[in-house]
Structure 1
Amino acid sequence: MNHNTPLPPLSPRPLRHLSEGHRGVVTAAQLRAHGVTAADTNEQCRPGGPWQQILPGVFLLHSGPPTSEERLHAVLMYAARQQTTSVPAQPGAEEPHRPVYTEAVITGMTALTLHGFSSTPPPTSLDTIDVLVPRLRRLRSTGCARIVRTAALPAPQHVTGVPVAPVPRALADAVAELADAGAVRRLLTEAVRGGHCEPSAVVRELNRAKLLSRPHVVDAVDSLLAEGRAIAEDGLYRMVREYGLPDPVWNVDLRLPGGPHLGGLDAYWPEQAVAVELDTRAPRQGHRQEDDALWSEYARKREHLERLGITVVHITPKKLREALEQQATVVRTALMAAGDREPAAYVVVLPR
């Protein structure tokens, strides 16, 4: 073959299928499987040629700059241990086959943008895309791909067919690269205000990443916890108002007359002896000593109050956000059942 002249079309149907299914990005292995030799690929990628190499072993089937989506899939193709192609949802469907990536998960700023964050830079302005891979993989950061190694890959969430790290993990990987306190605070605040995750889950992931020794991260976390608490309390006020519950006393401490402190509560109905406490613990994942200690504290308080005849309803911020009417029904049921119980012990109610 004379390599000074352009190549004739090479298996146009298979290559067109690849271009549609992978957004114009293919691997060397896929090209070989479609009969395109390494020499042919090199010829197509010559200066001024119709193709280009975007990452080692990954090619773009057009000239000109890649789109944000093409860069994203190129990084995944480079980092994935293997790539398979899923079938369309229905036989004969027009939708192209979607790639399935193994052992590669997008994280950091790009993942947050895919999750819908507005405070992250647009993908076009990011020089690199962070991708999580298992620690023992032999890969290096190159071009637009920044390899982030991890002992255990998180279970990915799929956004537009792309495996993306959950928000708390993506936040931790993004924060690890930031020295600007304002940028860190904006990311953490949006995570909570936008309802992407609970503050406690963020703190847990930052702790796992050993980022809580950085002063600017600690300051941002303090703001995050205050923000999350305020949002949850606002949800509690809204529940009482919108679902016609009787007004409680808010943010109180209970004590036995002349006796010990029983604990703080977010809302309390003295006549019915019903209390609501916001449960801001992180979701339990495996056996963790700090979880046990915090759970024991919650359980001791609840058991003590219930021995005194006080019903304690625990509500999580997530339930207030996603199932407000259901939580209002739980509280209303507890209030209505008060008349069927023995009178509660007398307690002193003090502002907190």
Structure 2
Amino acid sequence: MNHNTPDAPLSPLPRTGFDRFQEAIRYARTEAMITGLAALSLYRFAAAPPPGMIERIDVLVARTRRLRSTHQIRVVRAVEPPHPVEIDALPVAPVPRALADAVSALDDAGVVRRLLTEAVSGGHCEPGAVVRELNRARLLTRPHVVDAVDSLLAEGRSIAEDRLYAMVREFALPDPLWNVDLRLPGGPHLGGVDAFWPDQSVAVELDTRAPRQDDDALWTEYTRKREHLERLGITVVHLTPRKLRESMDQQATVVRTALMAAGDRQPAAYVVVLPR
């Protein structure tokens, strides 16, 4: 079995929790992993109970396994189980999958919101990965989950915007106009962008969309706006939260290259810039 390793070392698991988790894995035997609230406790989520306080341990196995739940162990099945992360020598489901399995058994809106928000603000994963798993588990029909997802996406956008500000500052890019709307003089609204350099006609747009049931419509609207701006001679640089987190230097180079290439392009159409 291939295991991924968390980026940062975690403190040792208390023995009482460790023994119970080991017992759950031994019960499920091969190709099994801890998931749900138990997994989030292993990731040291503040919003999850500590390992020793987990009443029932969720264990993720392949759908074809013949295994029954017990009083202390809940068997969760997957058509294609993900690659586990190894924590304290235990196989653990990745955070997005563990969150979905935890949320499926929770009715407390406050707990669900705190878990989802901590996943993003704590740097465990991107909002899109969480929403994909919630959608796969058909949890986006539950009102308290939808409300929590809205908070999650707002948190994810705020973090991505902070990273964009940091990129401009740390890599000494020219100061743009932040969070503006673009409009043709006396004409239609062209849409909002997260950063705009009017002298070079370069815009940056953060793609913080998440795959939800209306994703196709959102993607169509986003593509239409981008194509319209580019027909007017405005270069649109598309950045995702993950790219900013994992390769900020490369994204800064992309933006710098677009700014430097402005002199080689035909002049862009004049647009009115308004605060958003």
CA contact (8 A) 1:171 1:188 kept: yes
* Structure 1 residue aligned with 2:89: 161
| Partner residue, 2:246 | 322
SS in 2 for 1:314: strand
Q: Which runs of 5+ in 2 are unaligned?
A: 1-14
The separation in 2 between residues aligned to 1:175 and 1:203, in whole angstroms, is 12
SS of the aligned residue for 2:49 comes to coil
Q: TM-score, normalised by structure 2?
A: 0.86
Partners of 1:107 and 1:164 within 8 A in 2: yes
Q: Which of residues 204, 208, 213 is equivalent to 2:141?
A: 213
Deviation sequence 1:104-125 (CA, Å, 0-9, x none): 1211012112234232111111
Shift of 1:199: 1.3
Other-structure match for 1:267: 195
Q: CA deviation at 1:233?
A: 0.9
Native 8 Å contact 1:175 1:184 kept in 2? yes
Q: How does 1:173-322 map to 2 (within 5 A)?
A: 173-282=101-210, 292-322=216-246
Q: Could you tell me how far 1:243 is from its partner in structure 2?
A: 2.1
CA distance change for structure 1 residues 192 and 292 in 2, over 3 Å: closer, same or farther?
same
- Does residue 40 of structure 2 align to residue 149 of structure 1? no
Please give the residue correspondences for 1:16-165 in structure 2 after superposition, counting only pairs within 5 Å: 67-80=16-29, 101-102=30-31, 104-165=32-93
Question: Over residues 54-112 of structure 1, what are the superposed CA-to-partner deviations in whole Å (9 max), with x where a residue is unaligned?
Answer: xxxxxxxxxxxx732222122112113xxxxxxxxxxxxxxxxxxxx32x121101211
Query: 2:214, 2:148 → 1: CA distance?
Result: 22
Aligned-residue RMSD, C-alpha: 2.2
Preserved contact between residue 157 and residue 163 of structure 1 (Cα < 8 Å): yes
Amino acid at match of 2:25: L
Letter in 1 for 2:26: M
SS of structure 2 residue aligned to 1:148: strand
User: 1:292 Cα shift?
Assistant: 4.9
Query: C-alpha distance in 1, partners of 2:37/2:248?
Result: 31
Larger radius of gyration: 1
How much has 1:135 moved relative to structure 2? Answer: 2.9
TM-score under structure 1 normalisation? 0.69
Does the CA-based 8 Å contact 1:71-1:144 persist in structure 2? no
Query: What CA distance in whole angstroms lies between the structure 2 residues aligned with 1:219 and 1:292?
Result: 21
1:227 CA drift (Å): 0.9
Aligned partners of 1:114, 1:158: CA distance in 2, in Å?
A: 10
Distance in 1 (CA, whole Å) between partners of 2:222 and 2:144 is 30
| Offset, 1:156 | 2.3
Q: Secondary structure at the match of 2:59?
A: strand
Contact map agreement 1:305 1:312 (CA 8 A) in 2: yes
The 2-side partners of 1:324 and 1:239 are apart by 6
Q: Which residue identity lines up with residue 131 of structure 2 in the other structure?
A: V
115-124 vs 170-179, greater mean Cα deviation = 115-124
The answer to whether the 8 A contact 1:199-1:224 is kept is yes
Query: What code does the residue aligned with 2:204 have?
Result: V
Give 3-state SS (helix, strand or coil) of 1:67's partner.
helix
Q: Structure 1 CA distance, aligned partners of 2:239 and 2:89?
A: 34
1:351 alignment partner AA: P
Q: Percent identity?
A: 73
C-alpha spacing 1:210/1:295, structure 2 compared with 1 (3 Å): same
Residue 94 of structure 1 corresponds to which residue in structure 2? none
Deviates more, 1:304-313 or 1:290-299: 290-299
Q: In the alignment, is the contact (CA less than 8 A) between 1:167 and 1:197 conserved in 2? A: yes
Equivalent pair of 1:119/1:187 in contact (CA under 8 Å): yes
